[in-house]
């Protein structure tokens, strides 16, 4: 079993290219995790999700503790065996979903008690309990229990919330059982207040973690604020540990965050969008339900090697979504994951070659171009 | 482009083993078609459906004429290209779904006019129109337009209905445009009346078709009546043409029909059941939603090489269905299709080796055994 580690192989200004090693193999950074909320990447066979380039899976503690239950997953051999995922798994602490999904939350200094959104059963999540559950799940990267500070929040509210999360972070560190190749990440909070973000980074650094997450963003503050908060945080985190921006984001959010020194990402966007008919392409997003695709023989993205693009027309994808056929979500999830992983590959390569700035500018320009209309003969000839 | 043909390589009493050759490749018989109603095997990538052993796909004319439309499919290169299915495709005539799904049907000697169940738009299906639509779709095996005689029906009603279907069969033969490797099948009707079945078989034989279907069964008459109708029909069909029992059926229905000389089958059962959590196994059917699977580490069927059985526990499959995850239908559809195709392989091999009777008896005995309980240690040790 290998030791948990992070090796940086190249930097480009604040951006870094590297590799994180865990008990279940390694993943290259900047990395985008495949979201596997309930121990499945929705609408994907795990081997197909991996084939897109996703090396890290993210599972949600809140969902799994309620169903099928962490003890049951442990008895069945842990998450990797349960869901047939051979690579590294990161689990969140469950705190975020408790706040957003459960009924009758009661948040105190000790933790949070809540009622399950599934059956109303009563549960408790404390820093120690969050560590225990993630241990039972067998995750390679365990996240501290924190409170995702709501947005908007006054500076005082954000400070109180962040400081409690920092006290919880210390309790998590104490409760976490170190094992070779298994990591515990702290989570930076502080709302949209740079001084609080810096205070939080210092508090986490003092406790000492294997990696550092930036939490409480992509909650309505906007891209500009998000980038400012990364700039207020990243320079205060240890250079030699991975940095993880939780729940982010849109392709251009990711590019901007990588430029600012972030190494890891997760977001439901590619998988969730894939199920509703939204496709990410080099020229921006498309809605495959739109009638303009109804008779279009072209592939979704002629540069993409995924099955949706290699073997099917836009007209067929449109048909699948109109007919509410499961193959629509299957193909579009595959495509979107592939698009995100291709973006990460491009970012890693650009950092390695010291041309991240040009890559980022080119990517943004292409995204802004928008899709070519079906009637454009030049594109048809290229397609 | 090959000629349409049927070669029999072995017989075992009334049962036959053979191969049907079409413009898009061949399939071994007895064959079970993968149902691809709306130009997709629901919840399956087509290459995975083929990997189970399914060589023939069945698409539904009624659904495709309404959405995306037969002209559109033709403009997009035909069904094979549209849905990325490289092998033979059989299309039904649309008649059955018109009767069961559409609103405000008006059935006359000329054909049937109806309102779409999707948008209320008005459509007409005549023998000539059914041939034209299937031509536009590009199917390898075209089915005559017929009326699936309702059950129950008096002998007089069944006779009137059957005789009109026979007049339509002649009009279909006239309208069908012969092309190398493309076949037209007639459909036998006659309800549960042996004399009508024989009269229908003689009428079809007189017109002359590339294959002969037995229709109007598995509509509530029961297995015994169904087998009697096959016995009343098959001996009156040409020996050297494939025989296709439409819409059948459960595994033991298929075994009994093969014993009685049927070569081709289709049924939504494996795919539809797979989406609702029902699994077919060598020891009968299981409902994966049942709580008894909740903590069961065993595979669904330890003898099955499909991904659902090779890589996952019953507990995981149960979890997927409880959590309404798309991967549940994906895995169970795959398993069920594989189970059906393994059954067909077993039947073909048994015919080839002249031991069909023993195979059928053994298969029925295993099906009747039922699933082993989770607590049975002997099975755990074997598992």
Tens-digit pLDDT profile for residues A291-321 = 999 999 999 999 999 999 999 999 999 999 9
Q: Specify the higher pLDDT residue, A105 or A232.
A: A232
CB neighbour list of residue B92: distance below 8 Å, 6 or more residues apart: B58, B59, B60, B61, B62, B143, B246
Name every chain A residue with its beta carbon within 8 A of the beta carbon of B325: 38, 40, 42
A83-97: per-residue pLDDT in tens? Answer: 999 999 999 998 888
Q: Which one of the listed residues B12, B92, B210, B301 is annotated catalytic? A: B92
Q: What's the confidence (pLDDT) of residue B99?
A: 80
Is A332 a residue whose pLDDT tops 50?
yes
Is B383 a residue whose pLDDT tops 90?
no
Count chain A–chain B contacts defined by CB atoms under 8 A.
Answer: 100
Name every chain A residue with its beta carbon within 8 A of the beta carbon of B78: none
Name every chain A residue with its beta carbon within 8 A of the beta carbon of B43: 326-327, 330
Is B133 a residue whose pLDDT tops 50?
yes
Mean pLDDT of B128-137: 98
User: Among A72-81, A173-182, A208-217, A372-381, which stretch is predicted with the lowest mean pLDDT?
Assistant: A372-381
User: Among A104-108, B208-212, B227-231, which stretch is predicted with the lowest mean pLDDT?
Assistant: A104-108
Contact B326 A82 (CB under 8 A): no
Name every chain B residue with its beta carbon within 8 A of the beta carbon of A82: 313, 315-316
Q: What's the confidence (pLDDT) of residue A374?
A: 64
Contact A297 B38 (CB under 8 A): no
Q: Which one of the listed residues B140, B146, B253, B266 is annotated catalytic? A: B266
Judge whether A14 and A261 are in contact, CB under 8 Å. Answer: yes
Split at pLDDT 50, 70, 90, the class of B379 is very low
Mean pLDDT of A269-275: 97
Name every chain B residue with its beta carbon within 8 A of the beta carbon of A307: 45
ipTM comes to 0.96
Judge whether A145 and A94 are in contact, CB under 8 Å. Answer: yes
Name every chain B residue with its beta carbon within 8 A of the beta carbon of A327: 40-45
Q: Specify the higher pLDDT residue, A99 or B362.
A: B362
* A117 Cα to chain B: minimum distance (Å): 13
Considering only CB atoms, A326 lies closest to which of B63, B67, B326, namely: B326
Mean pLDDT of A185-196: 98
* B257 Cα to chain A: minimum distance (Å): 31
The residue of chain B nearest to residue A48, with distances taken between CA atoms, is B45
Split at pLDDT 50, 70, 90, the class of A141 is very high
Q: What's the confidence (pLDDT) of residue B105?
A: 85
Is A373 a residue whose pLDDT tops 90?
no
Contact B42 A295 (CB under 8 A): no
User: Among A62-66, B90-94, B97-101, B280-284, which stretch is predicted with the lowest mean pLDDT?
Assistant: B97-101
What are the distances in angstroms from CA A353 to CA A17, A18, A339?
10, 13, 21
Considering only CB atoms, A326 lies closest to which of B42, B294, B319, namely: B42
Percent of chain A surpassing pLDDT 70: 97
Is A264 a residue whose pLDDT tops 70?
yes
Question: Which residues in B142-173 are b (16+ Cβ under 10 Å) and which e?
Answer: bbbbbbbbebebeeeebbebbbbbbebbbbbb
Mean pLDDT of all residues belonging to chain B = 95
To test the contact with chain A by mutation, choose from B35, B36, B41, B45 the residue with the greatest count of A C-beta atoms within 10 A, namely B45
SS3 B27: strand
Name every chain B residue with its beta carbon within 8 A of the beta carbon of A40: 320, 323, 325, 327
Is B300 a residue whose pLDDT tops 80?
yes
Split at pLDDT 50, 70, 90, the class of B64 is very high
Mean pLDDT of B289-297: 97
Contact A43 B327 (CB under 8 A): yes
Q: What is the pTM of this model?
A: 0.96
* B311 Cα to chain A: minimum distance (Å): 6
Contact B326 A68 (CB under 8 A): no
Mean pLDDT of all residues belonging to chain A = 95
Judge whether A141 and A187 are in contact, CB under 8 Å. Answer: no
3-state SS, B267-329, equals CCHHHHHHHHCEEEECCEEEECCCHHHCCCCCCCCCCCCCHHHHHCCHHHHHHHHHCCCCHHH
Contact B330 A330 (CB under 8 A): yes
Contact B40 A320 (CB under 8 A): yes
Percent of chain A surpassing pLDDT 90: 91
To test the contact with chain A by mutation, choose from B34, B325, B334, B374 the residue with the greatest count of A C-beta atoms within 10 A, namely B325
What is the DSSP secondary structure assignment for residue A13, as one 8-state letter? T
Mean pLDDT of B207-211: 98
């Amino acid at each position: 079993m290998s030791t948990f580690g992070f090796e940086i192989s190249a930097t480009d200004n604040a951006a870094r290219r590297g590799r994180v090693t865990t008990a279940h193999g390694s993943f290259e950074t900047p990395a985008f995790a495949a979201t596997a909320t309930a121990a499945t990447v929705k609408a994907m066979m795990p081997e197909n999700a991996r084939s897109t380039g996703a090396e890290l899976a993210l599972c949600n503690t809140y969902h799994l503790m309620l169903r099928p239950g962490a003890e049951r997953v442990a008895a069945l051999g842990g998450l990797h065996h349960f869901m047939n995922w051979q690579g590294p798994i990161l689990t969140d602490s469950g705190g975020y979903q408790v706040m957003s999904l459960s009924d009758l939350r009661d948040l105190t200094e000790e933790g949070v008690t809540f009622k399950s959104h599934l059956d109303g059963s009563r549960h408790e999540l404390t820093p120690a309990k969050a560590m225990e559950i993630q241990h039972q799940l067998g995750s390679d990267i365990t996240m501290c229990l924190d409170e995702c500070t709501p947005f908007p929040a006054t500076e005082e509210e954000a400070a109180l919330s962040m400081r409690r999360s920092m006290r919880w972070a210390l309790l998590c560190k104490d409760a976490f059982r170190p094992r070779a190749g298994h990591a515990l990440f702290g989570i930076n909070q502080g709302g949209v207040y740079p001084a609080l973000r810096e205070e939080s980074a210092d508090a986490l650094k003092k406790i000492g973690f294997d990696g550092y997450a930036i939490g409480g963003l992509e909650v309505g503050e906007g891209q500009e604020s998000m980038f400012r908060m990364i700039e207020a945080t990243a320079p205060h985190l240890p250079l030699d540990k991975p940095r993880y921006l939780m729940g982010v984001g849109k392709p251009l959010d990711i590019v901007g965050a990588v430029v600012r020194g972030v190494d890891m990402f997760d977001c439901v966007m590619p998988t969730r969008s894939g199920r509703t008919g939204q496709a990410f392409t080099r020229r921006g997003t498309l809605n495959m339900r739109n009638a303009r695709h109804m008779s279009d023989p072209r592939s979704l993205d002629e540069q993409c090697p995924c099955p949706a693009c290699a073997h099917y027309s836009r007209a067929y994808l449109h048909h699948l979504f109109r007919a509410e056929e499961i193959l629509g979500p299957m193909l579009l999830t595959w495509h979107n994951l592939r698009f995100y992983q291709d973006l990460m590959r491009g970012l890693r390569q650009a950092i390695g070659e010291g041309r991240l700035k040009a890559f980022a500018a080119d990517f943004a320009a292409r995204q802004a171009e928008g899709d070519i209309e079906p009637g454009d003969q030049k594109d048809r000839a290229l397609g």
